[in-house]
Amino acid sequence: MKNILVTGGAGFIGSHVVRRLVRQYPQYQIINLDALTYAGNLENLSDIQDATNYTFVKGNICDASHLDEIFSQYQIDAVVHLAAESHVDRSITDPLAFVQTNVIGTASLLNAAKKYWNGNYTDKRFYHVSTDEVYGSLGETGFFYENTAYDPRSPYSASKAGSDHLVRAFYHTYKMPVVISNCSNNYGPNHFPEKLIPLSINNILQKKPLPVYGKGENVRDWLYVLDHAHAIDVILHKGVTGETYNIGGHNEWKNIDLIRLLCKLMDEKLGQAPGTSEQLITFVTDRAGHDLRYAIDASKLKDELGWLPSVTFEQGLSQTIDWFLENKEWLDHVTSGDYQAYYEKQYANNH
């Protein structure tokens, strides 16, 4: 594999994947295709933007003729597909944007790869990065396995489920050499502050309320983003064609417990009296159709490909907070402009 097209490489997870591939594999050319939506930010990649094995292309994965040009101009051998609309709350207000990018965009990308590879699949790979949310919502016990039936319940997870089905359909119908991973909630540096952890870090810094949906009883399984990027690297190189791999941290937290831990760490790092940040916790109207619990069984990835997370949650969270404290300019840039309008609308009824 020499020329790798990464889609969505200017986003949160994509930027860590691009950085890892650019640094670990100088013999590869990494082409980053990103539409630079509100979630895409080239500042995430400022440290590698001049690397000789890196190229940025601004474009939309729904644009079929642009995709054709990119595949032939860069002679693409492998695709690592991360571009997506990724925020559940936005999918509740604007579901069609999710169908457009996640379903139509993925179908367009698959179709462009099929046309360009034209049945010659030697040393080719189409890697689709997906989410555990396609499996639906768990009760208080149990885990998601690779063969758990799909049961998506938000427009976001339904559109990602649709994209997963299309990828498998191209494998079965056209023998496209695909591999899929479904990962749990990520956190870490460069996380856009519409998601729970970076939103709460930002609000603690701004001394603004910390909006906890419902009673804060919902459970998520959190994985440090650099560990996800490592897993993607392992699966890209060693994953078996046609297979699916679950990725997760065995790290379940109730939202309210997570926020309390975050408050404690923030108080320590900001030199504030214990309990200061917790006073900002505000219970707000629950998310519509809020999935109760996600929990991944990642033993296939561990047993077959030898991947394990490298940091504990306390270490990862501490490093994440440090990154946000050291990158206030990044935070200022991404929270100016459109972000304020989004925030006012999303949390309007609660503050």
Task: List active site positions.
Answer: 132-133, 156
Residue 121 or 347: the one with the smaller Cβ distance to ligand TYD is 347
Interacting residue with ligand TYD among 41, 163, 218, 246 (CB under 6 A)? 218
Q: Is 212 in the site for ligand TYD (CB under 6 A)?
A: yes
Tokens of 127: 């890697």
Nearest Cα to Cα of residue 229 among 174, 265, 262, 187? 187
> 281-284 and 244-247 as β-strands: parallel, antiparallel, unpaired?
unpaired
Backbone φ and ψ of 196, nearest 5°:
-50, -55
Burial of 101 (0-12, 13-18, 19+ CB in 10 A): buried
Q: Is 262 in the site for ligand TYD (CB under 6 A)?
A: no
Question: Please, which residues have CB within 8 angstroms of residue 317's CB and are 6 or more apart in sequence?
Answer: 187, 197, 261, 262, 265
CB 153 within 8 A of CB 289: yes
Residue 121 or 145: the one with the smaller Cβ distance to ligand NAD is 145
Smallest gap from residue 241 Cβ to ligand TYD (A): 29
Residue 220 interacting partner from ligand TYD, ligand NAD, none (CB closer than 5 to 8 Å by kind): ligand TYD
Residue 230 interacting partner from ligand NAD, ligand TYD, none (CB closer than 5 to 8 Å by kind): none
Smallest gap from residue 172 Cβ to ligand TYD (A): 29
Q: Is 255 in the site for ligand TYD (CB under 6 A)?
A: yes
Site string for ligand TYD, 87-126 (x = CB under 6 A): -x--------------------------------------
Residue 227 interacting partner from ligand TYD, ligand NAD, none (CB closer than 5 to 8 Å by kind): none
Q: Is 225 in the site for ligand TYD (CB under 6 A)?
A: no
Q: What percentage of the chain's residues is helix, strand, coil (to nearest 5)?
A: 45, 15, 35
What is d(CA 80, CA 241) in angstroms, rounded to the nearest whole number? 14
What is d(CA 180, CA 245) in angstroms, rounded to the nearest whole number? 6
Radius of gyration of the chain (CA): 20
Question: Please, which residues have CB within 8 angstroms of residue 151's CB and are 6 or more apart in sequence?
Answer: 135, 136, 137
Residue 213 interacting partner from ligand TYD, ligand NAD, none (CB closer than 5 to 8 Å by kind): ligand TYD
What is d(CA 175, CA 187) in angstroms, rounded to the nearest whole number? 34
By CB under 6 A, which span of 139-147, 208-216, 309-317, 331-339 interacts with ligand TYD? 208-216
Residue 211 interacting partner from ligand NAD, ligand TYD, none (CB closer than 5 to 8 Å by kind): ligand TYD
CB 266 within 8 A of CB 200: no
Question: What is the CB neighbour count within 10 angstroms for residue 319?
Answer: 15
Residue 88 interacting partner from ligand NAD, ligand TYD, none (CB closer than 5 to 8 Å by kind): ligand TYD
| Positions in the binding site for ligand NAD (CB under 6 A) | 7-8, 10-14, 34-37, 39-40, 60-62, 82-86, 101, 105, 129, 131, 160, 183, 185-186, 192
Burial of 261 (0-12, 13-18, 19+ CB in 10 A): middle
Smallest gap from residue 137 Cβ to ligand TYD (A): 10
Residue 141 or 173: the one with the smaller Cβ distance to ligand TYD is 141
Q: Is 41 in the site for ligand TYD (CB under 6 A)?
A: no
Which residues are near ligand TYD by CB under 6 A? 88, 185, 195-196, 199, 211-213, 218, 220, 255, 287
